[in-house]
Amino acid sequence: MTHATLTIIRREHTALSAMLRSIVLLLAELRRHDALPDFGVLRAMLFYVDEFPQRLHHTKESELLFPRLRQRSPEAAEVLSRLDRDHAGGEVAIRELEHDLLGFEMMADTVQGPARRQRFEDAMNRYVGFYLEHMRIEESLVLPLAERVLTEQDWAELDAAFEQNRDPLAGYEGDEAYRTVFRRILNALPAPLGLGSAIEAMAGKGVARTFQPSAR
């Protein structure tokens, strides 16, 4: 039996992985052409990473899924504590990334421009590496453990919670208030990097991607 919680986590991981990889690919392409980015689009992409995965996806994992796993499987405490630390550290890291992006934007036309650009790109690459490894651990260790040890009552309560505030970029029906920002992100990316149709994502029909990134 496939539980809604696991499906939602995996789909949100795939959407986040696609977004993170798209940022890295976009920055590399711009550097090859010696061009500056559309800073508004980059801000929107980091806003997405902060708004959904960081504040909603992580919160449901740390406050709902992980405590139940600790109850059912005490030996999982070490890896779950590491993942909780990752979640907390991610909040700090995204703020630093947003600051580095602002510094790059404000100083792009000054003598500091190249150094500011390098600082943001380096920080972005570190963040992406950190996040992909984090998701790999969750998918290879934590989710299989959940399938083995959680009860049907656990799943019923978790599924109800995870089905709230689902990520529109993972193909779920989105909050009307976020449609503009998601459409801007999806439609602004070059075709080789794009995550798919904004209309499809907002309609809950799934995201048609030009490549299939994976956190695993």
- Longest pairwise C-alpha distance within the chain: 61
Per-residue pLDDT tens digits for 55-87: 667 888 988 999 999 999 998 999 999 999 998
Confidence of residue 202 (pLDDT cuts 50, 70, 90): very low
The label of the residue with tokens 């309560």 reads 157
Nearest to 101, CA basis, from 29, 46, 176, 31: 46
Query: Rounded to whole angstroms, how far apart are CA atoms 62 and 58?
Result: 6
User: How far apart, in Å, are the Cα atoms of 176 and each of 40, 109, 165, 182, 202?
Assistant: 20, 37, 12, 10, 9
Q: What is the DSSP letter of 76?
A: G
Per-residue pLDDT tens digits for 138-182: 999 999 999 999 999 999 999 998 887 555 554 455 556 566 777
Q: What is the DSSP letter of 140?
A: I
Per-residue pLDDT tens digits for 88-139: 888 889 999 999 999 999 999 999 999 999 999 999 999 999 999 999 999 9
Structure tokens at 58: 């992580």
Domain over 4-202 is classified CATH 3.90.76.10: no
Domain definitions of the chain by residue range: 4-202
pTM of the complete model beyond 0.85 = no
Query: Rounded to whole angstroms, how far apart are CA atoms 47 and 35?
Result: 22
Least confident piece of the model among 5-9, 14-18, 86-90: 14-18
The label of the residue with tokens 């690459």 reads 125
